[in-house]
């Protein structure tokens, strides 16, 4: 990799077509991005970077340039899994290293101990469930009933007027009829037949 490619400045919403990307090579950005964020936070306990700089650093580490929305979606996916926590920072503030915060900078925390991982994972399980209730919705109940009816219909035994095609079909029909008789006996007596 040439030094010119390493020092290339990536703009925030720049589409880059002249460098190898992750998708064409069957790779994902999750693992290298998580490793990058963990190494960035070693100095200050938190990682702070813009999406464009994260794209450039992933390219420097792996040799593959993430796509336009790849890093943003990966950060959201990793946050949903409880592997990191992120906050958008307002431009003009002072970052932990003393530099000025620019637009699009995120503060990312990757948990380093078991307790922090558990806290993030438990919060991730409950996040986004504000609208979930346990009340029955008639529309959903009707679709569930239709799905159950379709499954029951596909499991019905073959009609008597259809001839079995092979010996295995004949044995399967006999087993189904025997199971039906056992179920009927169970219903009548309230216990399994002996």
What angle in degrees, to the nearest 10, is found between the helix axes of 51-62 and 70-80? 90
User: What is the C-alpha separation between 152 and 144, in angstroms, rounded?
Assistant: 12
Q: How far is CA 188 from CA 37, 43, 175, 193, in A?
A: 66, 74, 20, 10
| pLDDT digit string, tens, across residues 36-89 | 999 999 887 888 888 888 999 999 999 888 888 889 999 999 988 889 988 888
Rounded to an integer, what distance in angstroms lies between the CA atom of residue 109 and that of residue 119? 12
Q: Which stretch of DSSP H or E encloses residue 103?
A: none
Domains in the chain and their CATH numbers? 3-110 (1.10.10)
136 phi and psi angles, rounded to 5 deg: -80, 130
pTM of the model: 0.59
CB under 8 Å to 18, separation ≥6 — which residues? none
How far from 81 is each of 36, 53, 67, 119, 157, CA to CA, in Å? 18, 23, 21, 12, 44
pLDDT tens profile 99-151:
888 888 888 889 888 888 888 888 887 765 555 455 555 555 566 667 767 77
């Amino acid at each position: 990799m040439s030094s010119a490619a390493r020092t290339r400045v990536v703009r925030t919403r720049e589409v880059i077509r002249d460098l190898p990307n992750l998708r064409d090579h069957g790779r994902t950005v999750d693992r290298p991005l998580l490793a990058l964020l963990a190494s960035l936070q070693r100095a200050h306990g938190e990682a702070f970077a813009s999406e464009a700089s994260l794209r450039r650093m992933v390219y420097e580490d792996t040799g593959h340039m993430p796509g336009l929305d790849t890093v943003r979606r990966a950060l959201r996916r990793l946050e949903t899994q409880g592997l990191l926590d992120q906050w958008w920072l307002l431009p003009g503030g002072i970052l932990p290293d003393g530099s000025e915060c620019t637009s699009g900078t995120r503060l990312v925390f990757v948990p380093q101990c078991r307790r922090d991982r558990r806290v993030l994972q438990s919060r991730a399980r409950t996040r986004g469930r504000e609208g979930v209730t346990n009340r029955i919705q008639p529309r959903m109940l009707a679709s569930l009933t239709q799905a159950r009816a379709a499954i029951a219909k596909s499991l019905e035994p073959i009609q008597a007027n259809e001839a079995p095609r092979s010996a295995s079909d004949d044995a399967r029909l006999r087993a189904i009829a025997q199971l039906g008789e056992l179920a009927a006996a169970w219903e009548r007596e309230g216990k399994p037949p002996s």
